[in-house]
Structure 1
Amino acid sequence: MRLFLERGFEETTLDDIATAADVSRRSLFHYFASKEEIVFSTKADFPDLIAQAIGRRPAEEPLLDMVENALVDLATRFQSAETRALAKLIHDTPALSAGDQAKYEKVERVLAKALADRKGLPETDIACRVTAAAAIGILKLATEAWLAGADAGPEIFGKAAFAALRDVVG
């Protein structure tokens, strides 16, 4: 990741990575099929982190509050300069941003299931699915605001976005 952040994604070769990791290029391919996979491996646990954050919320909490509080909790825990730099690299690199969108789809499915599980509802529950879809939309907007240089962390934008959503549906 250091090489990607220092040189840029396109400028960093697999040979550079293998050399920095002190492994052969062949060994590198044993673990990762592409440079994109190397970058996304750093975020592989994100769906599980969201599911765990939902699991820590009180079961009686309303769905929208549950997901907002879980996402705010995660956002406040993951705001290091390195996290921001990695998110910016992914956002600004076309080869990575497409894969990032696929990640959001997976996270939405995991979030909907976690909400349903926490509420004791079927995995296909429409309220859980709609809540997850709205929450992931807000997560994407909050991340974009954070990367665009917003003064506050993504949790501040996220709270404002959830408040706006409540006003719209209220």
Structure 2
Amino acid sequence: MEHEQKRKDGLREHKRRETHRRLTETGLKLFAENGYEATTLDAIAEASGIARRTFFHYFRSKEEIILAWQSAMPDRLRVEILKQGVVASPIATCQAALIALSEDMEPQVAVMIGRIVQSTEQLRASNQAKFLQMELAGYEALRELWPEEGRQVGLRLAAMLLVGAMRLSIDVWVAEEGQRPLAEYLQTYFECLKIELGAFAEK
């Protein structure tokens, strides 16, 4: 009886997560197609095939859809690092994961989100928190791959530096309206970081 209840609870939670993901993706798609201001919550519910009443169990405002997208990024980075596995080094693994993550980011949607994020204090603060959480998620994933004692500080620094490079890359990418693939910006900043770290090591 208890096992059956756990199974039902698991299925219910899975369905809830899938619905949340579908609503988030539909909202972002409509924001990109029709504009953030012109898109209503009712339109998102209808496009998702969800009753209006059910929709409000998940989101109460359009801002919350952007917040949901932001909050999903750290876990996506963690999953991608673990998927990459042990590449030549923690830095190489984290680089490969960030580039893979960047390839899933649609320019039109990312540029639109970049503008929306600057429109409210709540979203700006959430954006700051997102990158801090990505640093932590990246570090924790690297720790799973390289669990040896004494490597914690180095792995934490690797995650901080590389997520920082991604943050700068996204800022420039959005400012330039996504004219080139985000991966190109990442490669440029990773190369800058490599040069500076090399110069630091030589001193």
Which of the five TM-score ranges fits, normalised by the shorter chain?
0.7 to 0.9
Aligned residues of 1:113 and 1:123 also touching (Cα < 8 A): no
Q: Does 1:21 align with 2:50?
A: no
So what's the TM-score if we normalise by structure 1?
Answer: 0.79
Q: How many residues align?
A: 164
The verdict on how the C-alpha distance between 1:123 and 1:55 changes in structure 2, with shifts beyond 3 A counting, is farther
> Alpha carbon RMSD of aligned pairs, Å?
2.7
C-alpha distance after superposition, 1:122-169 (max 9, x if no partner): 698111111111111111111111111164212111111111111111
Among 129, 136, 143, the alignment partner of 1:109 is 136
Deviations 1:94-149 (A, max 9, x none): 34222111111111111110011111246981111111111111111111111111
What is the percentage of aligned positions where both structures have the same residue? Answer: 24
For residue 68 of structure 1, report the CA deviation from its aligned partner.
1.0
Report SS of the residue matched to 1:83. helix
Cα separation, 2, equivalents of 1:3 and 1:163: 36
| Alignment check: 8 A CA contact 2:73 2:130 kept | no
Amino acid at match of 1:99: S
Query: Shift of the alpha carbon at 1:7?
Result: 4.1
Structure 1 outlier segments of 4+, above 6 Å: none
Q: RCO (CA 8 Å, sep 6+): is it higher in 1 or 2?
A: 1
Q: 1:64-97 CA distances to partner (integer Å, 9 max, x unpaired)?
A: 1111111112212x24244324433444323422
Q: Which residue of 1 aligns with 2:73?
A: 46
Bigger radius of gyration: 2
Moved more, 139-148 or 59-68: 59-68
Q: Quickly say closer, same or farther: Cα 1:40–1:82, change in 2 above 3 A.
A: farther
Unmatched runs of 5 consecutive residues or more in structure 1: none
